[in-house]
């Protein structure tokens, strides 16, 4: 009887041990899951994604296809473009930012980061003195300056998109990989796509409105966003019929503007009165009927997550009854 009792006691203890181990295993997995996942709020129902850490060294591509190898996670980054500075904050990497340009004014916190000059004429010596692990630039960054930095052992990543908003997602993802913020980059993409998608859904049955976007005007000549430009595609996404759709680049003629006589004209903030008072535009229907509107040009010019808001603002101008 004692022998049977001992066997039963051992069996019960063993079962208790298994239960404890199973409980520990469950808690461990839950803790691990809490550490390695993040709630994404860009969709109507919160979803869970697995963290994606960048493994260094990593090789990423500049927008022109040039490959750049980053040996270890950058701790000190210099931005040589306002849109890159905005993205550093958006991706939760502002603590890495040790330099920015004079034009990097958004968000306002960026003003506290030391300036390294302008986009076209950055202070290369100052950049080198800050000992960055990575310099990220956009258009207008001189190849000679890039060579000076690479010769000093500083990797330079140049990111830009010439033609469409889809390319911005690639830009964001590449930056996210470079600075070890891939997950935040992907959630940013999702938020942009959701916002732009809601605009496109609202406009799916509308008749496009003829529109002209003013890049430059007056004595210096007329400039707009041609059909092959980044902003040109945003006008189309927002339900506009770009009168310069058949033009490549930014140059436009006054004769073409007067001939096509768009229903709506969009200028940057602060330029409406000056445009409407310029004599050569007085006969335009949009001017006579007061259909000249202002917009924050940075929502369109700076390639990044705020482009989604730019598309929405354009749509509000062109189709105020459809987009609120």
DSSP state string for 17-63:
HHHHHHHHHHHHHHHHHHHHEEEE-SSSS-EEEE--PPPSSEEEE-T
Mind listing the pLDDT tens digit for each residue in 252-307? 999 999 999 999 999 999 999 999 999 999 999 999 999 999 999 999 999 999 99
CA triple 278-314-301, angle to 5 deg: 75
270: left (phi over 0), alpha (psi -120 to 50) or beta: left
pLDDT band at 163 (very low <50, low <70, confident <90, very high): confident
For residue 139, the model assigns a pLDDT of 86
Higher model confidence: residue 233 or residue 30?
233
Which token pair is 295? 């917009």
User: Dihedrals φ, ψ of 97, to 5°?
Assistant: -80, 120
CB atoms < 10 A from the CB of 126, how many? 14
Q: Distance between CA 156 and CA 81 in Å, rounded?
A: 13
Q: Are 133 and 72 in contact (CB under 8 A)?
A: yes
For residue 51, the model assigns a pLDDT of 67
Q: Is the pLDDT of residue 48 over 50?
A: no
Mind listing the pLDDT tens digit for each residue in 204-238? 999 999 999 999 999 999 999 999 999 999 999 99
Mean pLDDT along residues 118-140: 95
227: left (phi over 0), alpha (psi -120 to 50) or beta: alpha
For residue 16, the model assigns a pLDDT of 41
- Report which DSSP code applies to 226: -
Mind listing the pLDDT tens digit for each residue in 72-115? 999 999 999 999 999 999 999 999 999 999 999 999 999 999 99
For residue 35, the model assigns a pLDDT of 31
Q: Is the pLDDT of residue 49 over 60?
A: no
Q: Is the pLDDT of residue 13 over 60?
A: no
Q: Is the pLDDT of residue 25 over 90?
A: no
Q: Is the pLDDT of residue 26 over 50?
A: no
For residue 110, the model assigns a pLDDT of 98
pLDDT band at 11 (very low <50, low <70, confident <90, very high): very low
Q: Is the pLDDT of residue 29 over 90?
A: no
The pTM assigned to this predicted structure is: 0.83
Q: Are 320 and 313 in contact (CB under 8 A)?
A: no
For residue 179, the model assigns a pLDDT of 98
């Amino acid at each position: 009887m004692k022998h049977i009792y001992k066997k039963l006691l051992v069996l019960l203890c063993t079962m208790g041990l298994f239960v404890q181990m199973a409980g520990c295993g469950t808690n461990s997995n839950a803790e691990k899951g809490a550490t390695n996942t993040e709630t994404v709020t860009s969709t109507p129902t919160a979803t869970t994604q697995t963290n994606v850490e960048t493994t260094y060294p990593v090789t990423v591509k500049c927008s022109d296809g040039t490959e750049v190898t980053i040996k270890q996670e950058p701790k000190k980054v210099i931005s040589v473009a306002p849109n890159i500075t905005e993205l550093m904050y958006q991706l939760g990497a502002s603590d890495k930012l040790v330099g920015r340009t004079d034009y990097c004014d958004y968000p306002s916190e960026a003003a506290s980061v030391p300036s390294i000059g302008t986009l076209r004429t950055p202070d290369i010596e100052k950049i080198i003195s800050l000992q960055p692990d990575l310099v990220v630039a956009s258009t207008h960054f001189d190849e000679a300056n890039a060579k000076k930095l690479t010769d000093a052992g500083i990797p330079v990543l140049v990111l830009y998109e010439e033609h469409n908003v889809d390319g911005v997602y690639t830009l964001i993802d590449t930056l996210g990989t470079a600075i070890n913020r891939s997950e935040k980059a992907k959630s940013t993409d999702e938020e942009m796509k959701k916002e732009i998608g809601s605009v496109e859904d609202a406009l799916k049955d509308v008749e496009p409105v003829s529109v002209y976007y003013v890049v430059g005007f007056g004595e210096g000549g007329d400039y707009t966003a041609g059909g092959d430009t980044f902003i040109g595609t945003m006008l189309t996404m927002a339900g506009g019929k770009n009168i310069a759709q058949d033009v490549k680049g930014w140059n436009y003629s006054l004769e073409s503007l007067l001939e096509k006589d768009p229903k709506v004209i969009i200028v940057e903030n602060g330029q409406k009165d000056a445009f409407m008072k310029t004599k050569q535009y007085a006969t335009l229907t949009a001017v006579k009927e007061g259909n000249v509107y202002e917009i924050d040009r940075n929502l369109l010019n700076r390639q990044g997550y705020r482009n989604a808001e730019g598309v929405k603002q354009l749509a509000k101008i062109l189709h105020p009854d459809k987009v609120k």
